[in-house]
């Protein structure tokens, strides 16, 4: 990356946006198209002066924390070397929101970083791949994108990494920010922001490459706490619970949960609702108020998958349960 004229670093990691369809089977092979070949499909792609790094060729469900750490280092090196003014990272849509949030937590003082993907392979009729990629390149080059945190660009809309989630398995309008909405949008080559996210959590990457074991347990009507016991037996260092409504869990699970808390395992409580915050409103066995008194950490409005990312980073930084509680 010695060419100082390069303006955009395009990092590819696989996913549908870099996939090809086997027309005999109808199945999609993930991550087989290189970044240069993908970018070359955009008629005016040379206008963006891209430097391409094909980092991985993986479905996003195959990624691990060590892959995310490599993404962070690649992005940091690019900005430190001064060879780009923005980064676009292509990614499978299945776990894109988790990677985006991870990067948003640990990348400080960098230029614009934009994540995107697609719901259809590039060669598919009406594919969203090239539009999403071109929109992301435009957003990453825009001065308006400075100091906005890590962004996700999809279907002409710009989302904050801390707010966005995938809401549809197959529709091209696959991402949303329930309760918040996009922070901006693209109109041809114009990048328009309507608001900013004022409060962003910041964490260090942590010195250890070890991935702390954090399990998610989702509760439904009538469940007990056996999965909590199983998680502890598997060596869980942290737990994220997805409860009902304001953050309730079945009373049959409280006893096992109390054991986990007494062992010093940080437990974060989230809600299965798309909108709203976990809060101690009710006072009965299994309610958020009683669980908080027990020592459970309220995850506020973070969905379970992002609460897990935040907890993993907190544990990687050797934070105490008290410090983790303050973090959330």
Which of the residues are catalytic?
16
**Residue 68 CA: distances (Å) to CA of 89, 96, 296, 315, 322:** 12, 11, 28, 16, 26
Instruction: Determine how β-strand 151-154 pairs with β-strand 113-116.
Output: parallel
169: how many CB neighbours lie within 10 A of its CB? 9
The answer to whether residues 289 and 254 touch, using CB atoms and an 8 Å cutoff, is no
Helix axes 65-81, 96-106, angle to 10 degrees: 50
| Distances from the Cα of 28 to the Cα of 25, 59, 117, 122, angstroms | 9, 11, 15, 11
Q: Any idea which residue has 């924390």 for tokens?
A: 65
Of 266, 257, 271, 258, the closest CA to residue 300 belongs to 271
Tokens of 137: 């390149």
Distances (CA, A) of 300 to 113, 166, 269, 293, 303: 26, 19, 8, 16, 9
- The alpha carbon dihedral of 245, 169, 228, 300 has a sign of negative
Alpha carbon 290 to its chain's center: 30
* DSSP H or E segment with residue 157: strand 157-160
């Amino acid at each position: 990356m010695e060419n100082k004229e390069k303006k955009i670093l395009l990092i590819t990691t696989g996913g549908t946006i870099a996939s090809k369809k086997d027309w005999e089977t109808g199945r999609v092979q993930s991550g087989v198209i290189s970044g240069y070949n993908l970018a070359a499909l955009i008629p005016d792609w040379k206008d963006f002066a891209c430097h391409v790094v094909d980092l991985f060729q993986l479905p996003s469900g195959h990624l691990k924390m060590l892959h995310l750490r490599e993404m962070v280092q690649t992005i940091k090196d690019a900005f430190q070397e001064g060879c780009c003014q923005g980064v676009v990272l292509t990614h499978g849509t299945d776990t894109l929101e988790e990677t985006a949030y991870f990067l948003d937590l640990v990348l400080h003082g960098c230029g614009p970083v934009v994540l995107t993907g697609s719901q259809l392979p590039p060669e598919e009729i009406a594919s969203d791949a090239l539009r999403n990629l071109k929109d992301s390149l435009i957003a990453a080059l825009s001065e308006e994108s400075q100091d906005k945190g890590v962004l996700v660009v999809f279907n002409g809309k710009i989302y904050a990494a801390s707010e966005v989630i995938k809401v549809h398995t197959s529709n091209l309008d696959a991402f949303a920010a329930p309760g918040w909405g996009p922070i901006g949008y693209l109109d041809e080559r114009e990048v328009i922001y309507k608001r900013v996210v004022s409060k962003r959590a910041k964490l260090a990457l942590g010195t250890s490459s070890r991935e702390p074991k954090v399990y998610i347990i989702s509760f439904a009507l009538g469940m007990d706490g056996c999965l909590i016991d199983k998680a502890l037996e598997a060596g869980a260092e942290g737990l994220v619970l997805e409860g009902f409504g304001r953050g309730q869990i079945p009373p049959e699970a409280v006893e096992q949960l109390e054991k986990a808390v007494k062992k010093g395992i940080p437990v974060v409580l989230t809600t299965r609702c798309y909108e709203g915050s976990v809060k101690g409103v009710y006072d009965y066995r299994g309610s958020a108020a009683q669980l908080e008194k027990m020592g459970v950490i309220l995850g506020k409005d973070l969905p379970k998958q992002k609460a897990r990312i935040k907890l993993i980073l907190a544990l990687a930084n050797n934070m105490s349960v008290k410090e983790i509680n303050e973090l959330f």
